[in-house]
A and B are shown apart, each in its own frame.
Chain A
Amino acid sequence: MTDTVGGVILIGPAQLALATLFVVFVGILSIRLSLGITRDLAVATVRTYVQLLALGFILRWVFGIDSSWLVVGLVLLMVLAAARIILKRSPDAPPGLFGSAFVSMALTGFLITFAVTGVIIQVEPWYLPQYVIPLAGMVIGNSMNGIALALERMFSDLDRREDEVLALTALGATPWEAAHPAIRDALRAGLIPTINSMAAAGIVFIPGMMSGQILAGADPVTATGYQIVVMLMVAAATALGSVMALVLTYRRRFTEDGVFLETGFRDETR
């Protein structure tokens, strides 16, 4: 009753409909118990369908066209989207952050992705979309989370520590010196999810990429090699991207004379 292609069991409309039934059941439960998540769940389900189907068709199209420009363009689009999401998730951040978020995302996204595909895996041609796009997605997605966490943490921490920042500045500290404790803690906060998942990988869960390759019929040990490369790559990208974003932005909360702009001194128009 099931079709297979290259060892992978196909999922057709009937299987999708069956899977959707689970969500419908949860929806009914939510209405009965007045949980208030029916609407969000419905929207999320529709979004999952639309976004992932679109992604599938776009990737099929890109894989067929075989153009380096198209691959680079797609990665750039991913970087742009990630930079926008970082901004949305940093409500405490000063205005004009988009440029810094974009630069940090773009540099780490391109640098790490192409270092892995070009130097470690050595794909031929260098832009082979089947490798570059999924790897870029993982690099960009994870460093986006790290950067957003780190930025949000740094700016809220600076506000929380404004007394310490003032005291240090009064002792002659430069903005870098006054902000350093907040920068250090923010970097740690941005990296913790990545470090935690590295520590738990293989014990608590089978990482996503490895699961995918095993489902697709790959040898588990081969899949392990890829997964290790991906985890190290994600850790490097998150650290690099967060450091860059923090260094590029902390100064925006200080005046030219190095005075921290406390809440009362800010122009609250973003």
Chain B
Amino acid sequence: MPEPALLAASDLVALLRVDGREVRVLDGVSFELEPGAIADITGPSGSGKTTFLRALARLLPEVTGSLSLAGTPAEQIAPSAWRNSVALLPQKPAIFSGSVAENLRIPWTLKVRHGASAPTDEALRLALLGVALTDVDLERDAARLSVGQQARVALLRVLLTGPRVLLLDEPDAALDDASADAVGARLREFADAGGAIARVRHHRSDGLATHRYLLSGGSLGAIPGGAPAPEFLHDHTPPSNAEEVSS
């Protein structure tokens, strides 16, 4: 029997009211993510890319279809536990009043992580360095960071919770090239450790994606040639710890 996909969605249908009309934003979409995969989802504006990510995170109010995580159907996983494993990073970075450290530790104030200990200052500093936030002090007022810095703090906040699947809504929209490269390397690391990523992107390929899809007219289609672009130098071998993660 083949290993079940890390994240599997089948026949997702979502209706949204747009200007008083009902629109089938997702019209029977099926999708799978294997450990180590980075799937880029593109499509025209308003084609439902954000809606699709929200459906995968079980954050869409009215959606039908089925979802499963490493073979376990969504119905058997509590919504908050699901979102803990299948973590969505919304496009607009949400920054709460308080310091950078307080913002990064918000996940550990929630009941879903009751009993787990929040990362130490040292771990937070290391994490900041990993996404090129070298000049950001932990005690800085998070509200005073630039948009690009806030976007990376929000990404780190999700990454530090240790999800199995990352759903990123335009993670590099507000980033300059150097920071985008640092974030890309960090995401590559996450995938290589057995995680899976779905990204909504408008930008030109950054060579990171292992799969590319086009969402249009309510359906999702694979774009051929989604494999790493020739200029991509990373040695893309299947992650060695995939079995361990999908067990």
Contact = CB atoms under 8 A, between A and B. Distances in A.
Interface of A: 163-164, 166-174, 177, 181, 255, 257-259, 261, 264-265
Contact of B90 (A166, A177, A255, A261): A166
Interface residues of B, number: 32
Nearest to A267: B17
B17 A258 contact: no
Interface of B: 16-17, 57-62, 79-81, 83-84, 87-90, 92-94, 96, 106-107, 109-113, 154, 157-158, 161
B81 A169 contact: no
A261 B94 contact: no
- Chain B contact surface mostly: mixed
Contacts of B79: 257-259
A257 B75 CA distance: 11
Contacts of B59: 166, 169-170, 259
29 contacts: A163-B90, A163-B92, A163-B94, A166-B59, A166-B90, A167-B154, A169-B59, A170-B59, A170-B83, A170-B89, A170-B158, A171-B87, A171-B107, A171-B157, A172-B83, A172-B107, A173-B80, A173-B112, A174-B80, A174-B110, A174-B112, A177-B109, A257-B79, A259-B59, A259-B61, A264-B16, A264-B17, A265-B16, A265-B61
Contact of A172 (B89, B93, B110): B110
Given A168-B94, A255-B61, A257-B79, 6 more contacts: A171-B83, A171-B157, A172-B84, A174-B80, A264-B17, A265-B16
B113 A172 contact: yes
Contacts of B61: 255, 259, 261, 265
Contacts of A170: 57, 59, 83, 87-90, 158
A170 B16 CA distance: 20
Nearest to B80: A172
Nearest to A262: B61
Contacts of B81: 172
Contact of B110 (A163, A173, A261): A173
Contacts of B17: 264
Nearest to A164: B94
Which of B60, B61, B88 has the most CB atoms of chain A within a 10 A radius of its CB? B61
A257 B161 CA distance: 21
A172 B89 CA distance: 12
B86 to A, nearest CB: 9
Contacts of B89: 170
Which of B88, B89, B110, B112 has the most CB atoms of chain A within a 10 A radius of its CB? B110
A255 B79 CA distance: 11
Contacts of A181: 96
Nearest to B18: A264
Contacts of A169: 59, 83
B150 to A, nearest CB: 11
Contact of B94 (A166, A177, A257, A265): A166
A171 B62 contact: no
Contact of A177 (B88, B93, B111): B111
Nearest to B62: A265
Contacts of A255: 61
Contact of B106 (A171, A261, A264): A171
B90 A167 contact: yes
A41 to B, nearest CB: 40
Contacts of A173: 80, 110, 112
A141 to B, nearest CB: 35
Contact of B60 (A167, A171, A258, A259): A259
Contacts of B110: 168, 171-174, 177
Contacts of B112: 171-174
B142 to A, nearest CB: 12
Contacts of A265: 16, 61-62
Contacts of A259: 58-61, 79
Contacts of A168: 94, 106, 110
A258 B161 CA distance: 20
Nearest to B60: A259
Nearest to B79: A257
A257 B81 CA distance: 11
Contacts of A172: 80-81, 83-84, 107, 110, 112-113, 161
A171 B158 contact: yes
A255 to B, nearest CB: 5
Nearest to B92: A163
Which of A170, A174, A261 has the most CB atoms of chain B within a 10 A radius of its CB? A170
